Copies of this chain bind each other. A is one copy, B any other.
Amino acid sequence: MFSLPVISEKTVARLALYRRLLGDLLSQGRRSIYSHELAALAKGSAAQVRRDLMAVGYEGSPARGYSVEDLIGALSRLLDHPATQKVALVGVGNLGRALLSYFAGRGSQYSVAAAFDADPGKVGLAVNGCPVYGPDRLAEVIEREGIEVAMVAVPAGEAARTVHDLCTAGITGILNFAPVRVWVPEGVYIEYLDMSMSLERVAFFARSKRRTSQQDSALAK
């Protein structure tokens, strides 16, 4: 069996982006594409695209470039779980509900199979078709459903305990929306998605753009 050629986080992020862009293209009836065209859409360079695709193992032809459909297939084989992947959500507040509707709406390969919330008023409900359990049933439900990936949308104060419990329950991937850094054991991948830090970054660069808008072209290159 092949061992994966160790793809960096940045490359994985771009591959996921390429797949999304290619999906749009396919729905517009596009059959094939060249690296420089895909690069323009992804705001990268043609060489970058080609190098990224080396990791995928799909080869295009110099004559017609890459087949949109085949490339999506190759990306999906690399990126996706063989079956539809079940995901857990902890915290059914405003953000949690937004996530439920987000992943319920689109025909994505992810389905949020279980949600958890400490509020007894929410336990037992089904939000966007997803059942809400009490936090005491975390381990049990995760094991029963065979869930490996979880999203955390609880208040900052509860994030550390939530993440700990998830790891204990056997979760190996966590997307954490709470604005705190938490410790995870080895063998668990955690990613932070902190909206207010993102906004800070945007505000900072918006200001520096304003100051130096002449030199922008250099940056954009």
List residues of A whose CB falls within 8 A of some B CB.
Answer: 4, 9, 12-13, 16-17, 20-21, 24, 41-43, 79-81, 85, 87, 93-95, 97-99, 101-103, 106, 108, 110, 148-149, 151, 172-175, 179-181, 186-191, 193-211, 213, 216-217, 220
Contacts and interface: CB of A to CB of B under 8 A. Distances in A.
A175 B202 contact: yes
The A contact surface, by secondary structure, is: helix
A102 B174 contact: no
Given A12-B201, A172-B210, A195 B94 contact: no
A122 to B, nearest CB: 15
Given A12-B201, A189-B206, 9 more contacts: A43-B181, A81-B207, A87-B199, A94-B94, A103-B196, A148-B206, A148-B210, A175-B202, A191-B202
A97 to B, nearest CB: 6
A102 B110 contact: no
